[in-house]
Each structure stands twice: as structure tokens, then as C-alpha cells.
């Protein structure tokens, strides 16, 4: 059962060093920090790949067989790769802080508890996949799986922000059934677009390390990059069309179109960057931007999905089971 507006006022006045019992500004800031760090990690992961630093640290979990950290002999590639690994520890700190901020809300705001738990639980999984990618000499399918987990975590943290700011979901459906079906189609199109995009990148020239590394035995998918670019464009245009339907439908139905418009803007920029990079030889700056936009695409889609149902408000809680 959902109850609106109860113990929030007294909990907001709780001392800052105590764990929150209800959503306050600390929870909001930590939710946003979780999301921002996930997006930044996508960007730094792209930097590692696009600067050919993927094997800057040739072993895992240490950087070399003799050193935990990068050494001067490893040059800039070692610095970039090890720097990306260090950023994971920032994520760990933020994830732990976020979990502690909502742990006392396990019964009253279970959605926040489980979203924070999911983020924390996925971090070691992501780290191991990163290690496997090094052990397999940057196999594109393993590297692609690494990005899939990053995209999933972006969705999780976007949901964490949305729920922290808007409260738990209610049973009220804010849109008609046909609109919900279009949203579902949009989600499917996003999934296909991102997955095909990963395969496209894994087929192109940015293998993540210098071809001279390890005898030039860097893996690629074996697919024709030119063909994959066209295949990737198909679900992207379908996604754009579906999002247009969402925006127009929201305006006609006098619904809130904020998140559908945000998704449309991200897609427009994403398409523009994608077309430009394909026609200019895949410059690393544009490819990196395209990767970060993919994370924002997933986040905006998450917000669109969540906005189709009513929210009880930031001050709402669920009654404890033993109440």
C-alpha cells in the first residue's frame, strides 16, 4: 500500500551523519552521482578503446605481472588504461554510499533499495568482464558484453534517480494502451540499435590496442563494417519514427511529453553524429561521443518507460510489512 507524505519532514531534519529513513537531499545527490559516474565510465571506457590503450595494462587484476599500477615504461597507454580502472573505485565508493543511504528504506522504499543493490552487485561482474577482455586480447564480443553491462547500469541508475525524485510507482496508468505498446516497441528498438551498434564498432578499425601488440592478433568480429553500418541504421531509424509517434501522441493526448522529447533530442544528435562519423572515416572524437550518447539514449528510454505510470511523490512510502 502506498501512503503519501508521512515521515519525510522529520527525516529531512535528521542529522546528516545518520542514515536516512526517507528520501532527502543526500539520497537525491547520491542517485545523481551514481548515474553520472556510470555515464563517465562509458566515456572513459571509450577513451581507452579509441586511443588504442585497451592493452595498456596487459594483465588483470594487476597492471603488469610485476606491478599493480602502470609504470613509466608503459607510456600513455598504461596511464589511460590504469586510470580507467581507478575510476571503478570511485564508482564503488558512490555505490556503497548510495546503498547505505537507502538501506533503512528497505521496507518503505524497496524499489530504491533493490536498484542500489543491483548497481553494487553489478560492479564486480563488470570488473571481471573487463579482466576477461584483457585475457582474451580484446575479443570484440567480450568487449561488447562489457558495454552491454554498462548500458544496463546506466538504465538502473537512471531509474534510481527517477524514483528518488518522483517516488514509488502507483497503479495509475497515465497513457492509453496503444501508447504503452508504442513505448514497448521503442524499448525493443533501443535494445536492437545498441546491440547492433556494438557489433558494428567491433567490426571497425578501433580494436582498442595497437595492431603490433601481441603479434597483431587482435580480434575483430569478421563482419563487413560497411554492411554493419547500414544494418545498424535500420533499427535506429525505426526508433526515431517510434519516438516521433510518442511525442506527437503525447501532445495530442495532452500528456507530459518531457521525456519523449528528451529521447527524441538524444536520437537526433545520435543520428547526426553517426552519419558524420561514417562519412569522415570514424574519427575517434565522434566515435567516443556516439558511445556516450548511447548511454544517454538508454537513460532517456528508461525515463520514458517509467513516466507511463503514476508516481506517488518523493515523500510517499510503502507501509512496512509488519505495520
How does DSSP assign 56-102, residue by residue?
SS-SSSSSSSS-SS--GGGHHHHHHHHHHHHHHHHHHHHHHHHHHHH
pLDDT at 9 over 50: no
Residue 86's pLDDT is 87
Distances (CA, A) of 273 to 2, 191, 223, 279, 296: 44, 19, 22, 10, 14
pLDDT at 212 over 80: no
Average pLDDT rounded to a whole number, residues 19-44: 92
Tell me, rounded to whole angstroms, the distance of Cα 195 from its chain centroid: 14
Locate 276 and state its grid cell: 558524420
User: What Rg do the C-alpha atoms of the chain give, in angstroms?
Assistant: 21
Over residues 219-245, mean pLDDT: 90
In the chain, where the domains are located: 10-316
Comparing CA positions, the residue from 37, 40, 57 lying closest to residue 208 is 57
Confidence label for 315 from pLDDT (cuts 50, 70 and 90): low
pLDDT value of residue 75: 81
pLDDT digit string, tens, across residues 119-175? 999 999 999 998 898 888 888 899 889 999 999 999 999 999 999 999 888 888 899
Burial level of 246, CB count in 10 A (0-12/13-18/19+)? buried
Q: Supply the pLDDT for residue 289.
A: 93
pLDDT digits (tens, 9 = 90+) for 63-103: 887 888 887 777 888 888 888 888 889 999 999 999 999 99
Q: Which helix (H) or strand (E) holds 250?
A: helix 225-252
List 179's β-bridge partners, or say none.
Answer: none
Which pLDDT belongs to residue 12? 45
Q: What is the mean pLDDT of residues 226-236?
A: 92
pLDDT at 211: 54
* Strand boundaries in the chain, DSSP class E: 2-3, 169-173, 309-311, 317-318
Q: What is the pLDDT of residue 11?
A: 45
Distance CA 35, CA 265 (A): 19
Mean pLDDT of the chain: 86
| pLDDT for res 54 | 77
Q: What's the mean pLDDT in 10-28?
A: 71
For residue 132, the SS3 value is: helix
pLDDT at 170: 86
pLDDT band (50, 70, 90) for residue 17: low
Nearest-angstrom CA–CA distance, 284 and 282: 6
Q: 89 or 323: which carries more pLDDT confidence?
A: 89
Q: In the chain, pLDDT over 90 holds for what percent of residues?
A: 50
Of the pLDDT bands very low, low, confident and very high (cuts 50, 70, 90), residue 320 is very low
pLDDT of residue 149: 95
Lowest mean pLDDT among 74-88, 187-201, 231-245, 262-276: 74-88
Amino acid at each position: 500500500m502506498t501512503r503519501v507524505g508521512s515521515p519525510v519532514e522529520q527525516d529531512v531534519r535528521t542529522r546528516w551523519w545518520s542514515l536516512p529513513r526517507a528520501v532527502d537531499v543526500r539520497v537525491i545527490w547520491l542517485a545523481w552521482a551514481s548515474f553520472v559516474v556510470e555515464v563517465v565510465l562509458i566515456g572513459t571506457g571509450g577513451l581507452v578503446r579509441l586511443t588504442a590503450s585497451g592493452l595498456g595494462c596487459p594483465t588483470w587484476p594487476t597492471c603488469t605481472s610485476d606491478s599493480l599500477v602502470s609504470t613509466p615504461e608503459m607510456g600513455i597507454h598504461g596511464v589511460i588504461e590504469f586510470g580507467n580502472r581507478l575510476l571503478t573505485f570511485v564508482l564503488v565508493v558512490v555505490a556503497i554510499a548510495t546503498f547505505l543511504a537507502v538501506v533503512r528504506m528497505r521496507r518503505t522504499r524497496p524499489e530504491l533499495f533493490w536498484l542500489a543493490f543491483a548497481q553494487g552487485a553489478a560492479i564486480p561482474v563488470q570488473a571481471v568482464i573487463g579482466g576477461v577482455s584483457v585475457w582474451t586480447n580484446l575479443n570484440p564480443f567480450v568487449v561488447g558484453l562489457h558495454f552491454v553491462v554498462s548500458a544496463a547500469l546506466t538504465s538502473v541508475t537512471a531509474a534510481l534517480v527517477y524514483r528518488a525524485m518522483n517516488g514509488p510507482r502507483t497503479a495509475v496508468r497515465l497513457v492509453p494502451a496503444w501508447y504503452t505498446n508504442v513505448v514497448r516497441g521503442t524499448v525493443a528498438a533501443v535494445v536492437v540499435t545498441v546491440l547492433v551498434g556494438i557489433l558494428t564498432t567491433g567490426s571497425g578499425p578501433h580494436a582498442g590496442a595497437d595492431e603490433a601488440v601481441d603479434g597483431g592478433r587482435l580480434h575483430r568480429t569478421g563482419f563487413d563494417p560497411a554492411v554493419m553500418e547500414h544494418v545498424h541504421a535500420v533499427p535506429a531509424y525505426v526508433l526515431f519514427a517510434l519516438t516521433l509517434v510518442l511525442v506527437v501522441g503525447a501532445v495530442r493526448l495532452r500528456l507530459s511529453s518531457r521525456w519523449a522529447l528528451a529521447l527524441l533530442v538524444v536520437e537526433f544528435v545520435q543520428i547526426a553524429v553517426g552519419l558524420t562519423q561514417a562519412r569522415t572515416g570514424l574519427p575517434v572524437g565522434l566515435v567516443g561521443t556516439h558511445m556516450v550518447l548511447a548511454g544517454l539514449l538508454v537513460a532517456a528510454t528508461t525515463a520514458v518507460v517509467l513516466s507511463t505510470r503514476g508516481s506517488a511523490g518523493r515523500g510517499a512510502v510503502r507501509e512496512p510489512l509488519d505495520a
